[in-house]
């Protein structure tokens, strides 16, 4: 479904991604794990078109997308729940959800999808007219996930969904991600919360200083000596 083919990405003159290649198959949950500054978020930003690779290609459903205008990607079926949520804080919960469904089929289905999101997160239904900036961190993350779902994505990408959340909420978010996958959406997730991420991932890649150093199934990586030592602290 998604193929990242040997991309190099730069911030100005500084290269941060070196020859990274991986793929996500339909129906999978794939994780990118790694330390701070390893290039995980940069990789997601490149897939979503905010950054451009200097070398290599990003291919989605057989079509190269690394030259497509970033605002057109959501209509092709790629959505990103960005790092730190990036909600529109001075808009209501409902308006934030509307923003996820501006185009095409998603716009036609807006009311239905919204009902589905409210069913997934009943708390948001109660607060639909509240400004997003006034919500708690956990509720904001629910809005971010909901906003991503509103576009009826084929591939939903999460950038650090557990960032800054209490453990109980982290568990809730991961169980939602599992549910999203069960309903047929492919998931690409970037996380520092290695243990829980590998537990729900079909396959995972380890990024270290901009290069992929390891890959395997979630289970295999959980048992890998290097991963254990470097990321799980055991």
Partner 1 sequence: MTSVAIEVFLQTLIAGLLLGGLYALIGLGMTLIMGVMKIINLAHGELMMVGMYIAYWMFVLFNIDPYLSVFIATPILFFLGIALQKFLINPVLKVEAILPENQVILTVGIGMVLANLATIFFTSDYRSTPVSYATNAFYLSDYWKASPIELSLSVPWSVSFILAVIITISLWFFLARTDTGKSIRATAQDTDAALLMGVNVKLMRVVTFGIGSGLVGAAGCLFLPIYYLFPSLGGQFTLIAFVITILGGLGSTIGAIIGGLILGVFESMTATYIGMGWAPVGRFVIFVVCLIFLPGGVASLLKRKKLGK
CB of 91 to partner 1, least distance (A): 6
Do 23 and 215 form a contact (C-beta atoms < 8 A)? no
* Cβ-based nearer residue to partner 1, 82 or 210: 82
Q: Please pick, from the candidates 39, 53, 77, 100, the single residue that binds partner 1 as defined by CB under 8 A.
A: 100
Q: Given the rule CB under 8 A, which of 2-10, 32-40, 94-102, 169-177 is the region that contacts partner 1?
A: 94-102
Structure tokens at 151: 């576009």
Do 37 and 68 form a contact (C-beta atoms < 8 A)? no
Q: Given the rule CB under 8 A, which of 24-32, 64-72, 197-205, 206-214 is the region that contacts partner 1?
A: 64-72
Structure tokens at 53: 């690779």
Q: Is 163 in the site for partner 1 (CB under 8 A)?
A: no
CB of 214 to partner 1, least distance (A): 29
CA distance 113 to 234: 42
Q: Is 155 in the site for partner 1 (CB under 8 A)?
A: no
CA distance 135 to 142: 10
Q: Is 136 in the site for partner 1 (CB under 8 A)?
A: no
Q: Is 108 in the site for partner 1 (CB under 8 A)?
A: no
The three-point CA angle 42-83-121 to 5° equals 140
CB of 228 to partner 1, least distance (A): 35
Q: Is 167 in the site for partner 1 (CB under 8 A)?
A: no
Structure tokens at 68: 């497509």
Q: Please pick, from the candidates 8, 19, 23, 95, the single residue that binds partner 1 as defined by CB under 8 A.
A: 95
Q: Is 72 in the site for partner 1 (CB under 8 A)?
A: yes
Q: Is 105 in the site for partner 1 (CB under 8 A)?
A: no
* Cβ-based nearer residue to partner 1, 49 or 218: 49
Q: Is 75 in the site for partner 1 (CB under 8 A)?
A: yes
Q: Is 115 in the site for partner 1 (CB under 8 A)?
A: no
Which residues lie near partner 1 (CB under 8 A)?
48-50, 69-75, 79-80, 82, 86-91, 95, 98-100, 102-103, 107, 131, 133-134, 147, 151
């Amino acid at each position: 479904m998604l193929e990242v083919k040997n991309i190099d990405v730069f911030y100005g003159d500084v290269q941060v991604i070196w020859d990274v290649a991986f793929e996500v198959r339909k129906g999978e949950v794939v994780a990118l794990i790694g330390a701070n500054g390893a290039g995980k978020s940069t990789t997601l930003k490149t897939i979503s078109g905010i950054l451009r690779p200097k070398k290599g290609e990003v291919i989605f459903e057989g079509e190269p997308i690394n030259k497509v205008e970033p605002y057109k990607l959501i209509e092709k079926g790629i959505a990103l729940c960005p790092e730190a949520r990036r909600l529109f804080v001075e808009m209501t919960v409902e308006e934030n959800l509307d923003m996820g469904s501006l185009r095409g089929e998603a716009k036609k289905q807006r009311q239905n999808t919204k009902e589905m999101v409210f069913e997934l997160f009943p708390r948001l239904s109660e607060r639909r007219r509240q400004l997003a900036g006034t919500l708690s961190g956990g509720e904001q993350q629910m809005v971010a996930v909901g906003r991503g779902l509103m576009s009826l994505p084929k591939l939903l990408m999460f950038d650090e969904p557990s960032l800054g959340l209490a453990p109980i909420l982290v568990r809730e978010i991961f169980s939602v991600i599992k549910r999203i996958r069960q309903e047929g959406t492919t998931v690409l997730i970037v996380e520092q919360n290695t243990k829980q991420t590998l537990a729900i991932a079909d396959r995972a890649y380890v990024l270290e200083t901009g290069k992929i150093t390891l890959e395997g199934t979630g289970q295999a990586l959980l048992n890998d000596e290097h991963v254990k030592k470097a990321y799980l602290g055991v």
